[in-house]
Amino acid sequence: MPRLIRGGRIVDPSSGRDGIFDLLIQDGKIARIEPRIASLPPDTETIEAAEHLVVPGLIDIHTHLREPGYEYKETILSGSRAAAAGGFTGVACMANTDPPNDNHSVTEFIRERAREAGLINVYPVGAVSKELKGESLAEIGAMVDSGIVAVSDDGHPVMNSGLMRTALEYTQIFGIPVISHCEDLGLSRGGQVNEGLASLRTGLAGIPAEAEVSMVARDLLLARLTGGKLHLAHISTARAVEAIRAAKAQGLQVTAETAPHYFTLTEEAVLSFNTGAKVNPPLRSAADREAVQNGLRDGTIDCIASDHAPHSTVEKDLEFSQASSGIVGLETTLSLTLNLVQQGIIPLARAIALLSVNPARVLNLKKGTLAIGADADITIINPNREFVVNPDKFFSLSRNTIFAGLQLKGKAVITLTRGKIIFRE
């Protein structure tokens, strides 16, 4: 049935369009965008979008949906619901499940589950190495046939530079990116918090910024050597941003992402030993946060990704050093990104690009756009909607977020995939 989204402010970074338009959806595709669509097909359902933003369905390039293996933390169904509530129509999910997604059967299982859920597009990310052990390459080709869009051992770094090089070369057959979790385990060993104010005051072992920067540097060198497609995950440090900026200035094809906690919080959040603030990489210094924000503004960082990492209270209500790392993010990422716009740190169009057309480009998806003929994956945002983050109302099965109780403004109110409403507040 046709659908009209009336009177919303269309912000479509892929085309540069930004203005008040009516948008007509037919057969699951974007049929017309005009200032005023008067003649409508019969049975057209109208969504009034005055005072709202109408943007391409958001894409989260980095999430952990925990299925198979950790269904008590999250399932593909609950993760899909959480994504839809957060305004996402597509998510890429990492391979560190149990069994890990290092072979095509697990890839197919994930896609099947996503089909059953029938809500969002789930793009599985396959493992770089068998069992994520970082020793030998997984059967990437078979997984590509089953539908992976990228490879990553995320959760773990690929410490073996020889293997990383091979991965960057091999994946060129398929044109898919290697998403790199940059962490030198020798430098981060035993660390719980940022090495700096956090480790000094809490006495917990610190992870120096160099644990990330040294691996970013290595990966950039290997990307240049191989010509492979490198995407750097969850960038948290100033010097990593500098290195990426310099590499891009020299023409290297590399992309990078960061997560909302790195542009919103600093290491001060762990001083009270609140495990809700325990993440890997850890929350960093104020200077690092500022550099990440600058990187989002000037294009050094291409994407914002939630790094949605659900954990149950069994894993989080423990001594800080025993607690698992991770924050759930699908239902707060958009609002935290809009918070940057409200603070004047990035313009609105850039914010939307970081969450739609850019991740789509990295993963080579024909998504993240409101072009005529594109799939009607659309997110309608109320930019003035004020709310308090309440984990008890989350669609996610997990509640582990340091942002509980935070007052935010701006929220997805309707999410559509192929013209079908998958979330309505």
Question: Residues in the site for other proteins, rule: CB under 8 A?
Answer: 189-190, 195-197, 199-204, 206, 272-273, 317-322
Cβ proximity to other proteins: between 253 and 322 the closer is 322
Cα separation, 341 vs 11, whole angstroms: 14
Q: Are 12 and 18 in contact (CB under 8 A)?
A: yes
Cα separation, 107 vs 294, whole angstroms: 36
Is position 307 annotated as part of the catalytic site?
Answer: yes
Cβ proximity to other proteins: between 44 and 321 the closer is 321
Work out how close the CB of 357 gets to other proteins at its nearest, in angstroms, rounded to a whole number. 40
Q: Are 125 and 154 in contact (CB under 8 A)?
A: yes
Cβ proximity to other proteins: between 324 and 337 the closer is 324
Cβ proximity to other proteins: between 221 and 404 the closer is 404
Work out how close the CB of 164 gets to other proteins at its nearest, in angstroms, rounded to a whole number. 24
Cβ proximity to other proteins: between 183 and 195 the closer is 195
Q: Are 229 and 363 in contact (CB under 8 A)?
A: no
Work out how close the CB of 196 gets to other proteins at its nearest, in angstroms, rounded to a whole number. 6
The residue annotated as part of the active site, out of 60, 307, 375, 377, is 307
**What stretches of 144-281 adopt beta strand conformation (E)?**
150-151, 178-180, 193-194, 206-207, 230-232, 254-258
Cα separation, 276 vs 269, whole angstroms: 9
Cα separation, 142 vs 420, whole angstroms: 32
Work out how close the CB of 316 gets to other proteins at its nearest, in angstroms, rounded to a whole number. 11
Cα separation, 206 vs 97, whole angstroms: 27
Listed residue (193, 281, 197) closest to 233, CA to CA: 281
Q: Are 316 and 323 in contact (CB under 8 A)?
A: yes
Work out how close the CB of 229 gets to other proteins at its nearest, in angstroms, rounded to a whole number. 35
Query: Which residues belong to the active site?
Result: 307
